């Protein structure tokens, strides 16, 4: 059975702190790993990772994939209150977009 496990489940940080979120996976047919940010409504896309060791960066967010150890991390530096959200990790196992999601990590950034 395919599994995607995120940790921690939740955390509270102060503005300006750095946050590291973890996602490990065990799937039979890995194609890519995706990170999403979910606030009130539907998830918004952050990163899609397919190759090991290549960091993807967007502003204060960055992510990297380790296909040997089967995990990914998402980093948020200099956190702001607007970063408060649930961060979802998902693994794609086919070419059409079927995703298996982890439980998510709730991040709360306090002023």
The contact mask relative to other proteins for 59-88 (x = CB under 8 A, - = no) is -----------------------------x
Q: Applying CB under 8 A, which of residues 11, 62, 71, 101 lies at the interface with other proteins?
A: 101
73 or 99: CB nearest other proteins: 99
Least distance to other proteins from the beta carbon of 23, Å? 12
Contact 79, 87 (CB under 8 A): no
What residue ranges in the chain does DSSP mark as E strands? Answer: 3-7, 10-14, 19-26, 32-38, 44-49, 56-58, 61-66, 71-76, 85-92, 99-101, 105-110
Tokens of 111: 């002023």
Residues lying near other proteins in the complex (CB under 8 A) are found at 32, 34, 36, 41-45, 47-48, 88, 90, 92, 95-104
């Amino acid at each position: 059975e395919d599994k995607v496990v995120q940790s921690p489940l939740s955390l509270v940080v102060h503005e300006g702190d750095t946050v590291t979120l973890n996602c490990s996976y065990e799937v039979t047919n890995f194609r890519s790993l995706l990170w999403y940010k979910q606030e009130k409504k539907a998830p918004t896309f952050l990163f899609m990772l397919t190759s090991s060791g290549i960091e993807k960066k967007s502003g204060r967010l960055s992510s990297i994939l380790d296909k040997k150890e089967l995990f990914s991390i998402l980093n948020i530096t200099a956190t702001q209150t607007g970063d408060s959200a649930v961060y979802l990790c998902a693994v794609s196992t086919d070419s059409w977009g079927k995703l298996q999601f982890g439980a998510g990590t709730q991040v709360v950034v306090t002023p």
